[in-house]
């Protein structure tokens, strides 16, 4: 999986969250994660947040993403973000 630019930006700056890549399961999970938090924070807007989450979930198959996987990611305590890619493995010899 190639590195997601928006996840990288979020790792560099956790407050950077307005932009997300729709093809990335972590970005979609991050959006759901935030909508859920906002819904708790602003109960008067719950229905609006729920509608946005529904809309996003409905689009997941269109982006080629597995809903149950994105849902699972979105339920973690920490904000979902693509893990930093591991550096290329060296030859293995020390």
Question: Does residue 51 contact residue 68 with C-beta atoms inside 8 Å?
Answer: no
Residue 74 binding Zn ion, by CB under 5 A: no
Report the run of H or E that residue 11 belongs to, with start and end: helix 5-12
Least Å from the CB of residue 70 to Zn ion: 11
Q: Which one of 24-32, 39-47, 68-76, 84-92 is the stretch in contact with Zn ion (CB under 5 A)?
A: 24-32
Residue 6 binding Zn ion, by CB under 5 A: yes
Question: Does residue 39 contact residue 46 with C-beta atoms inside 8 Å?
Answer: yes
CB of 24 or CB of 39, closer to Zn ion? 24
């Amino acid at each position: 999986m190639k590195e997601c630019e928006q996840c990288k930006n979020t790792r560099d700056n956790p407050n950077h969250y307005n932009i997300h890549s729709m093809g990335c399961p972590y970005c979609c999970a991050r959006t759901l994660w935030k909508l859920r938090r906002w819904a708790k924070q602003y109960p008067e807007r719950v229905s609006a947040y729920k509608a946005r989450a529904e809309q996003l979930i409905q689009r997941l198959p269109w982006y080629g993403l597995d809903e149950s996987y994105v849902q699972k990611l979105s339920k973690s305590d920490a904000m979902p973000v693509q893990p930093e890619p591991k550096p290329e493995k060296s030859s293995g010899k020390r």
